[in-house]
């Protein structure tokens, strides 16, 4: 049986300990120390030479991401989600790698930076396509596969198989759940209009199956072959989703130009930056905190662990700290990491200030 329940989390949050862990170095050397992530926010290479080490084209991205994706997949719990930022073509290149490693596509968020992003960047006489003003962030969930004596089964097939093993007619599932026909139609169907049963329904199915099913097949609806799944265990295997009213999968907002954007380091932060001025950005890829907060809020609860393997200025982790989550972030470049640390520290101080003033 696959181990579906192990969550590595040795960290006990306390008021005096910072709710973030910044690793200055390669994320590959930090993963084994980090607790199990509830979500991973990846904003790494785009294949556009956006930072030192970012490949020059999208073809180089699979090799760049492979060792990270392998580690994420090993560390993930069935309810772990992944947010993957990139360009459209960068993501298209990496998507098969993610699928190969057990990440299932959920949806794409498009950041529409608007027409203002075009101004000055495009020569309308030489361009032979529409100007690009977007970046995307793609949500993945872990594929939930159950190991059975007949081989691994996707969760939908496994639920149906468990019921069929009992020898009970499918219609008895409705009686088990106390509904007219929804259980058979929604939870035990073979077709695409399948619904993930909520924990309380799964528990009812399991109880009924174990009380009325063929005794020779016992236990039914068990992941370890011994104990029968409870509502709580079942619900913990599915990623959380906190609905945010009014948001769609297209987010309109210009690139960061306001006071949130860090400037003035005068450093050549990427191979494609040639001359710097005091107005140059400290990092080419700094993401709006507003967006990172939306991602964190959607799939985590306060106290949950958020991984940000490619920190830059640690925008996802700053968002996580602000929202009371625990951030684990790596940044390989010591100068970016120093700026990230200042931001994380400031976010934590703001949280503590708000807690003492009660705001
Ligand atoms: C696209 S930027 C992230 C920007 C970030 N989202 C922000 O808002 O500031 C990617 C960052 O990952 C860092 N990086 C690249 N490879 C890394 C690795 N193996 N481990 C840790 N950091 C890495 C780069 O130095 C760069 O700062």
Looking at the structure of the chain, the number of domains it has is: 2
Does residue 7 fall inside a structural domain?
Answer: no
Ligand 1 pocket check for 287: Cβ under 6 Å: yes
Contacts of 358 (CB under 8 A, 6+ apart): none
Q: What is the mean pLDDT of residues 238-248?
A: 96
Single residue among 189, 206, 235 that ends a domain in this structure:
235
Ligand 1 pocket check for 42: Cβ under 6 Å: no
> CATH number, domain at 48?
3.40.50.150
Does residue 6 fall inside a structural domain?
Answer: no
Q: What is the mean pLDDT of residues 95-114?
A: 97
The closest of 101, 98, 94, 97 to 74, measured between CA atoms, is 101
Is the omega angle on the peptide bond into residue 291 within 30 degrees of 0, that is, cis? no
Q: Which of 94, 293, 331, 342 to mutate for ligand 1's pocket (most ligand atoms within 8 Å of CB)?
A: 331
**DSSP secondary structure letters along 307-354:** EESS-TTTHHHHHHHHTT-EEEEEESSHHHHHHHHHHHHHHHHHHHHH
In terms of domains, do 182 and 137 share one?
A: no
In terms of domains, do 267 and 132 share one?
A: yes
The closest of 326, 325, 322 to 354, measured between CA atoms, is 322
pLDDT of residue 170: 95
Does residue 242 fall inside a structural domain?
Answer: no
Does residue 326 fall inside a structural domain?
Answer: yes
> Measuring from atom 10 of ligand 1, which residue has the nearest CA?
44
Measured between alpha carbons, how far is residue 134 from residues 110, 138, 260 in Å?
Answer: 6, 13, 20
In terms of domains, do 79 and 54 share one?
A: yes
In terms of domains, do 227 and 270 share one?
A: no
| Full-model pTM | 0.92
Q: Which of 310, 320, 327, 342 to mutate for ligand 1's pocket (most ligand atoms within 8 Å of CB)?
A: 310
pLDDT band at 1 (very low <50, low <70, confident <90, very high): very low
Measured between alpha carbons, how far is residue 124 from residues 127, 130, 254, 255 in Å?
Answer: 6, 10, 21, 21
Ligand 1 pocket check for 333: Cβ under 6 Å: yes
The tens digit of pLDDT for each residue in 41-86 reads: 999 999 999 898 999 999 999 999 999 999 999 999 999 999 999 9
In terms of domains, do 44 and 182 share one?
A: no
Does residue 111 fall inside a structural domain?
Answer: yes
The closest of 31, 90, 85 to 56, measured between CA atoms, is 90
Ligand 1 pocket check for 285: Cβ under 6 Å: yes
In terms of domains, do 129 and 150 share one?
A: no
What is the CA(51)–ligand 1 centre distance, in A? Answer: 8
Does residue 181 fall inside a structural domain?
Answer: yes
Q: Which of 25, 31, 51, 291 to mutate for ligand 1's pocket (most ligand atoms within 8 Å of CB)?
A: 51
In terms of domains, do 79 and 190 share one?
A: no
pLDDT band at 121 (very low <50, low <70, confident <90, very high): low
Q: Which two tokens stand for residue 99?
A: 């699928």
Higher pLDDT, 7 or 193: 193
**DSSP secondary structure letters along 253-268:** ---S-STTS-B-----
> Residue 70 and residue 206: Cα distance in Å, rounded?
34
> Measuring from atom 27 of ligand 1, which residue has the nearest CA?
312
Cβ burial of 175 (10 Å; 0-12, 13-18, 19+) is: middle
pLDDT of residue 262: 84
What is the CA(309)–ligand 1 centre distance, in A? Answer: 7
Q: Which two tokens stand for residue 107?
A: 């949806």
What is the CA(308)–ligand 1 centre distance, in A? Answer: 9
In terms of domains, do 31 and 127 share one?
A: yes
In terms of domains, do 255 and 226 share one?
A: no
Q: Give the rounded percent of residues in the chain with a pLDDT score beyond 70.
A: 93
The tens digit of pLDDT for each residue in 6-27 reads: 667 765 556 678 999 999 999 9
Ligand 1 pocket check for 337: Cβ under 6 Å: no
In terms of domains, do 261 and 341 share one?
A: yes
User: How many angstroms separate the first and last alpha carbons of the chain?
Assistant: 48
In terms of domains, do 127 and 24 share one?
A: yes
pLDDT band at 285 (very low <50, low <70, confident <90, very high): confident
In terms of domains, do 253 and 229 share one?
A: no
Q: Give the rounded percent of residues in the chain with a pLDDT score beyond 90.
A: 77
pLDDT band at 124 (very low <50, low <70, confident <90, very high): confident
Does residue 90 fall inside a structural domain?
Answer: yes
Give yes or no for residue 171 having a pLDDT over 80: yes
pLDDT of residue 2: 46
310 CA closest ligand 1 atom index: 12
Does residue 318 fall inside a structural domain?
Answer: yes
Q: Residue 197 is part of which domain span?
A: 146-235
Tell me if 33 sits within 8 A of 267, measured CB to CB. no
The mean pLDDT value of the chain amounts to: 92
Single residue among 208, 235, 262 that ends a domain in this structure:
235
Ligand 1 pocket check for 166: Cβ under 6 Å: no
């Amino acid at each position: 049986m696959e181990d579906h329940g192990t969550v590595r989390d040795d960290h006990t949050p306390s008021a005096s300990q910072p709710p973030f862990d910044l690793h200055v170095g390669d994320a590959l050397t930090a993963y084994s120390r980090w607790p199990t992530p509830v979500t991973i926010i990846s904003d790494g290479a785009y294949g556009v030479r956006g930072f030192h080490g970012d490949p020059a084209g999208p073809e180089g991205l699979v090799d760049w991401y492979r060792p990270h994706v392998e580690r994420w997949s090993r560390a993930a719990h069935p309810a772990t989600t992944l947010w993957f930022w990139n360009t459209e073509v960068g993501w298209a290149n990496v998507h098969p790698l993610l699928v190969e490693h057990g990440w299932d596509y959920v949806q794409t968020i498009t950041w529409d930076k608007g027409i203002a992003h075009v101004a000055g960047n495009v020569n309308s006489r030489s361009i032979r396509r529409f100007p690009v003003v977007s970046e995307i962030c793609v949500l993945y969930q872990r594929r939930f596969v159950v190991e059975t004596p007949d081989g691994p089964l996707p969760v939908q097939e496994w639920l149906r198989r468990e019921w069929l093993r009992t020898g009970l007619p499918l219609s008895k599932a409705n009686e088990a759940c106390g509904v007219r026909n929804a259980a058979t139609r929604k939870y035990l169907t073979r077709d695409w209009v399948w619904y993930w049963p909520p924990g309380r329904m799964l528990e009812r199915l399991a109880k009924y199956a174990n009380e009325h099913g063929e005794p020779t097949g016992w236990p039914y609806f068990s992941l370890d072959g011994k104990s029968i799944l409870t509502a709580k265990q079942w619900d913990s295997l599915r990623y959380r989703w906190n609905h945010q009213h009014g948001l769609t999968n297209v987010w309109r907002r210009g690139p960061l130009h306001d006071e949130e954007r860090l400037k003035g380091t005068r450093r050549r932060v990427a191979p494609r930056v040639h001359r710097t001025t005091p107005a140059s950005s400290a990092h080419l890829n700094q993401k709006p905190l507003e967006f990172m907060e939306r991602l964190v809020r959607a799939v985590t609860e306060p106290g949950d662990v958020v991984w940000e393997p490619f920190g830059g200025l640690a925008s996802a982790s700053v968002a996580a700290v602000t929202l009371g989550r625990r951030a684990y972030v790596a940044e390989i470049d010591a100068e970016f990491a120093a700026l990230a640390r200042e931001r994380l520290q400031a976010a934590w101080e703001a949280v503590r200030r708000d807690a003492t003033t009660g705001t």
